[in-house]
Each structure stands twice: as structure tokens, then as C-alpha cells.
Chain A
């Protein structure tokens, strides 16, 4: 096996559950070894540690909902463009924005904006919500279980100029 092919095969094994048996005896040996499981565990642990630091609100919400482990597993299996935590956090938040769970997507969008602010990529941004952000963010900040308010349309402005970096905008008119 060429080095190129070997590396591609090992990438698949590290990223995914093995789909063997393989034609190659060495790949079968790798697929069955304890070290492969350890490598996956290490990657999962690092990813969880990193996103918990970079995206604490989304992680806390997912943990409350019992969905954090699955989210980390999905993140670890995804194509990661780099080892940088900023890239990892962006990928994780993007996955959550696309999760289809409205409240999770709301919080993830808010943390995307906060991350952009902290990394100097923007100075101000509007984030739209489907639940009252004061209730959601207040609960998460206090580590209380989030009880979603009735669905509505809300907006927060995220800005370096604001104390606390965000504020709730005036409610939008009905039917917006």
C-alpha cells in the first residue's frame, strides 16, 4: 500500500466506525486495536473541552437536553479543516444552527455572533431569536434549566459598544 493510500485509509478509520473487514490485513489489525478507540476518545475529549470553552451556552443547553455527547460525536466525525479552536467552534456552531432544533439554533447563532465579536471579525451584529433571549440567556448564565418561552420573534444586538456585549431590541411588530 502506498503512503498516500495508507494515510487516507487511516483517516477513515480514525474518523468513522470501521466498515471492515478490509482486504488489507494491516487495516483489519488497526480496526480491531485498542489504540484506535483511544485515539477516537482523545479526539472526542479534546473537542468537548474546546467547544465547552468557546461555546459555553450552546454546550450547556445541549447538556441540559441530553444531546451534548451526540453533538460532540457528530463534530468529531465531521471534516475538520484545522486544529484551531476557532475553526472547531465555528464548525460546531454551524452544525447546531442547522440542527433543526429552534432553541438550540437560536443560542448557537447568538454564540456565532459573540465569537465573531471576540475575534474581531465584526463590531456589531443583529441576532434573531424565536424564543425570548432574556429568558434563555438568563437561565443558561445561571445554569438553570431553560424553559422556552412561547415562540415569537425577538432580536438582540451584539456589539462591542454594549455593556455585557448584547441587549434585547424592541419587540418586532406582529406579522413581521
Chain B
């Protein structure tokens, strides 16, 4: 299977218009990457190669006596980036799945960011990071039950109304076994998108982790998923611990992940961007030139 196949005589369109490629039987999207702030060298290396920059308010914020905030110089940098690429927001700390309620600190950060920077859409992980006001130190998935759906749907609708922007949710890696649920993985996402109109991010690496760790059938998942809702694809490289694949965005993208990403793209006509995610802490280890080369290879279809 071709991997994010892009003909070498035509660059990736910054607007992500892939209709011509789709007509030729291959799907593609624009390319984006993560930016964790405080790294102008990385920006210089990647901005010429991408159409989208993904930012995470939580990692850009500074905690203060009155709660976390986004410093003026961070907002200024994001505004500058937005003149060269489309900025998209991808949160970690909203904790949309916490029973006692999502993080109000995160919402305040998002308020500030959206007030100062043009953003195309925002998104979160379909999971939770806090319980009873305590940080878990990880992100856990929700059981696929009606109770979870009844909790999530009004929250998604609230976010859509509050910001008037498209809101997407991303599939999260399962490191713990699932409790009994009423829905398959895809059916649960279908319920969410059908009831709220929200979009989806499908993380190809996370699907691979789930397939490796507990036997998710990726093809069956994608066949069942209402892929019209998929607007963004994530790719990443991660680490292993024992027999487990972990969702740590610390490496280059494996060819197998690119194949899964291509399978998602082939079935998802609305995907605007494929984002290569690298956590800020991994940038010095991988090296900025290697990240730039990876983005170029992704854009040119040279991976895999």
C-alpha cells in the first residue's frame, strides 16, 4: 500500500485539497507538526515544510499564584506563527472525561489563546487525566457505555457553543483492559460524532499500539467507523516497555504507522491534515534536522 503517497512533481497543497489525488485513487492531506514553544530553531526548520502547526495550551502555559496563564511572549510567537501556517490547538489537560467535570484552568487558557490567535479548530483526547482534583500522571480511556456518552455529549456541545469553532476528539491508547462496554471502539466514536456533530482525530500510532497491546483489529475499526467525521490524522513514533507499545511521541515514524495513516486517509474524505507529533522533550534528542527531514519525507511520500 502506498504511504501517504504524493507525486513528486506536485507539492502538498497547503489548503489540504486532495480532491485531484482522490480522483486518481490515492488520498493525501496537508502536513503539520507539533510546536511546544521556546524553540525558534525548530520553527525555522519546520515552518517551510508544513501547512499546520499544532500547539498545546497546557505545555505553553506557566503556573502562577492565580492559576496557569499564557505569557504575552508566547501569545506573540503564536500570532507570528499564524501568519505563516494554520494554527490548530490540541489540548491535553481539559480532561473531558473526568466525572466531576473538565478542567476550568484549561478552559481559561483556551479562552486567552483563542482571543489572541487565529485558530482553525481545537481538539482534545477522549480520556481523562484527573480524578477528584488529583492528577493521575497519565491519561486513561473511558468505558464505552451510555453513561459515558451521556456525560460527554453535553460537554462537547458546550465547547462547540462556547467557542464557535470545530471541536475534534482523538482516540487514546488503552494501557488498561477495558471494562465491559455497550459499544465497540468505532461504534462509541460514531455515537459521539452522530450525537454532537464533533469531528475526530484518528491517531495511527495509537491504533497500532491498541492492535499490538490488546488485539484491536484496525481494518475492522476503520470499516465500522463513520470516517466522514475524521478531519485530522496523527502519526508518531514511540517507545516500548516489556511487551507493550507506549504512546510516547519520542521517535520518527515507523513505516507500519505510515501504512495505517494511509489506510485512514484512503477512507476519510474530510481529512485536512496529517500531523507528525513529537513531544518537546524529544526534539533535542531526535535533532531538528531529523524532524525536518521526516516532515519532508512524509510530505513527499518517501516514508516506508
Please give the residue numbers on chain A whose beta carbons come within 8 Å of chain B beta carbons, in ascending order: 1-4, 6-8, 10-11, 14-15, 26, 29-30, 33-36, 38-43, 46-47, 49, 76, 79-87, 119-121
Contacts of B244 in A (CB 8 A): 34-35, 38
Other than the known A3-B143, A33-B177, A42-B248, what 17 A-B pairs have Cβ atoms closer than 8 Å?
A1-B179, A4-B100, A10-B140, A10-B176, A29-B177, A33-B176, A34-B242, A35-B177, A39-B138, A41-B241, A42-B246, A80-B134, A82-B93, A82-B105, A82-B130, A83-B58, A86-B64
**One of B45-53, B144-152, B162-170, B192-200 at the interface:** B144-152
Chain B residues within an 8 Å CB radius of A29: 177
- CB pair B64–A81 under 8 Å, yes or no, is no
Does B76 touch A at the CB level, under 8 Å? Answer: no
* B interface with A by C-beta (< 8 Å): 58, 61-65, 68, 92-93, 98-100, 105, 128-138, 140, 142-143, 145, 147-148, 151, 174-177, 179-180, 213, 241-244, 246, 248, 281
**Cα of A34 to Cα of B143 in the assembled complex, Å:** 19
A14 and B129 CA atoms in complex are apart in Å by 11
Q: Is the CB of A36 within 8 A of B176?
A: yes
**In the assembled complex, which residues on chain B have CB atoms less than 8 Å from the CB atom of A86?**
62-64
Beyond A1-B179, A38-B175, A41-B241, is A8–B131 a contact (Cβ under 8 Å)? yes
A50 to chain B, nearest CB (A): 9
Q: Are B132 and A8 in contact, with the CB atoms below 8 A?
A: yes
Q: Pick from B62, B63, B142: contact of A82, CB below 8 A.
A: B63
Q: In the complex, what residue of chain B is closest to A9 when comparing beta carbons? A: B131
B contact face: mostly helix, strand, loop, or mixed = mixed
A11 in contact with B177 (CB, 8 Å)? no
* CA distance in complex: A86, B67 (Å): 11
B71 to A, closest residue via Cβ: A120
Minimal beta-carbon separation of B108 from chain A (angstroms): 13
Q: Which residue of A lies closest to B140 (CB)?
A: A10
A26 touches B179 (CB 8 A): yes
Task: Name the contact of B131 in the complex, choosing from A7, A33, A76, A119 (C-beta under 8 A).
Answer: A7
Question: Contact between B133 and A81 (Cβ–Cβ < 8 Å)?
Answer: yes
Q: Say which residue of A15, A35, A76 sits within 8 Å of B176 (CB atoms).
A: A35
CA distance A144 to B100 in the complex (A): 48
Question: B142 CB to closest chain A CB, in angstroms?
Answer: 7
Q: Are B136 and A11 in contact (CB under 8 A)?
A: yes
A30 adjacent to B177 (CB under 8 Å): yes
Q: How far is the CB of B275 from chain A (nearest CB, A)?
A: 21
Residues of A within 8 A of B143 (CB): 3, 6
B134 touches A83 (CB 8 A): no
Measured in the bound complex, the distance between the Cα atoms of B78 and A23 in whole Å is 51
User: Smallest CB–CB gap between A13 and chain B, Å?
Assistant: 8
Task: Report the nearest B residue to A86, measured CB to CB.
Answer: B63
User: Which residue of chain A lies nearest to B103 when distances are taken between CB atoms in the complex?
Assistant: A82
Nearest CB in chain B: distance from A151 CB, A = 34
Q: Are A7 and B281 in contact (CB under 8 A)?
A: no
Decide if B64 touches A121 in the complex (CB within 8 Å).
yes
Give every chain A residue within 8 A of B246 (Cβ-Cβ): 38, 42
> Which residues on B sit within 8 Å (CB–CB) of A81?
133-135
Contact in complex: A7, B62 (CB < 8 Å) = no
Q: How far is the CB of B292 from chain A (nearest CB, A)?
A: 25
Chain A hits for B147, CB < 8 A: 2-3
- Please tell me which one of the listed residues B62, B68, B138, B180 contacts residue A42 in the complex, with CB atoms under 8 A apart: B138
**In the bound complex, CA of A7 to CA of B132 (Å):** 9
A83 touches B64 (CB 8 A): no
Known: A14-B136, A26-B177, A43-B137. A4 touches B64 (CB 8 A): no
